[in-house]
Amino acid sequence: MLKLVEKLTLKYYDKIVRLRHQIHMHPELEFEEENTAHLVCEILDEFGIKYQKNIAKTGILAIIEGKKTSSQKPRCVLLRADMDALPVQEKTQVDYASKIEGKMHACGHDGHTAGLLGAALVLNELREEFCGVIKFMFQPAEEGSGGAKPMIDSGVLENPHVDAVFGCHLWGALLENTAQIVSGEMMVGSDIFDLEFIGRGGHGAHPHTCIDPIIMASQFINNIQSVVSRRLAPYEAGVITVGQINAGTTYNVIPAKACLKGTVRFLNDKTQNILKDSLEQVALATAKSNGGDYKLSYTQEFPPLINDEKAALIARKAFAKILGEERIITQSKPDMGAEDFAFLTQERMGAYVFVGISKDLNKPVLHHSPYFCWDDENLKVLMQADAMMALEFLNS
């Protein structure tokens, strides 16, 4: 089967490279992926692959039904790729660099989309070789709002019922032709918070007549650093980061308020609750001790991404056939980044895979960087791996 997949990958490789370049040159932010979706649908139409579009605004769900018969009940597997870009100004020198000011595919989603579509073309020719159904989920808005949940809510896991889910992410922290597939904790959950400290503004020369919200913000930022080190067990992973602070207008005016934005990362509900409650307690104590007030808005975003043990084993078998067992990493600490594929693994057994794209780990490919760049050859790994994971699951 691998020989057939490799042969068909080469057949469609040039088309998929051109698609990747087109998507890269015309990046679109979350829930704006109209052109990207149009390019995907054009190729699906060209090869007669059935699909639904405009799911969760710009999402697509393509379906291929196998023709092989079996005495067992047919199963259904879903493969997922994200389509959105980032608000980053590209600074690479590639000839297919972004043509859109301030927007760039700086996280590999152009490759995820092109690679999954390539796998669909391969599997479309192999319908006689498998029994069951393969769904291809082209998802909007992984960066930020998250498009996985609204697509799930729209019914992509039903009709027919999906039994397992698989996804890949091109990964700059790994060498080319390697893959990381762990069982259990893969990536953390993430929440966000908006915090406003409310004081009393006035002249900078008369601070005793004011209540300084900048002081409150500064104390809060310093004090929350002890939450992870002193309220969590040393073996528990957690992060609280303040990524934005806005206050004041000029040199000699104490403002009336200071606004902070931040992120919280965790691997389980217990840690999430400790961090959430601690934010509230520290904000309250800080405001009260300074004679001011505060408003805290806490939003739960993505749950932790947990790979199912059986699904991870299927993914390892598939990747080992492509890359060799010695190139599969099975033990690693969870990454502190978040990924809304976690909503899929909450609903079904599934596994998420990091696919290496760096040529030298002393100079790794950095995600969300204006210099983010990787070789088109890695598309072959994505195409083959997506196809083989589906086949491995359906034929096992």
Active-site residues: which are they? Answer: 84, 142
- Give the 3-state secondary structure of residue 371: coil
45 burial via Cβ count (<10 Å: 0-12, 13-18, 19+) = exposed
**CA 115 – CA 121 distance, rounded (Å):** 10
DSSP state of 335: B
Q: What sign results for the dihedral spanned by CA atoms 338, 341, 346, 351? A: negative
Closest by CA to 396, choosing from 318, 307, 344, is: 318
Closest by CA to 256, choosing from 295, 205, 292, is: 292
CA distances from 242 to 189, 194, 284, 293 (A): 17, 10, 17, 19
Query: Hey, how many other C-beta atoms are within 10 angstroms of the C-beta on 51?
Result: 18
Give the residue carrying structure tokens 């502190």: 336
- Give the 3-state secondary structure of residue 301: strand
* Residue 207 main-chain phi, psi, to 5 deg: -65, -25
**CA 187 – CA 34 distance, rounded (Å):** 29
Q: How distant is the alpha carbon of residue 311 from its chain centre?
A: 19
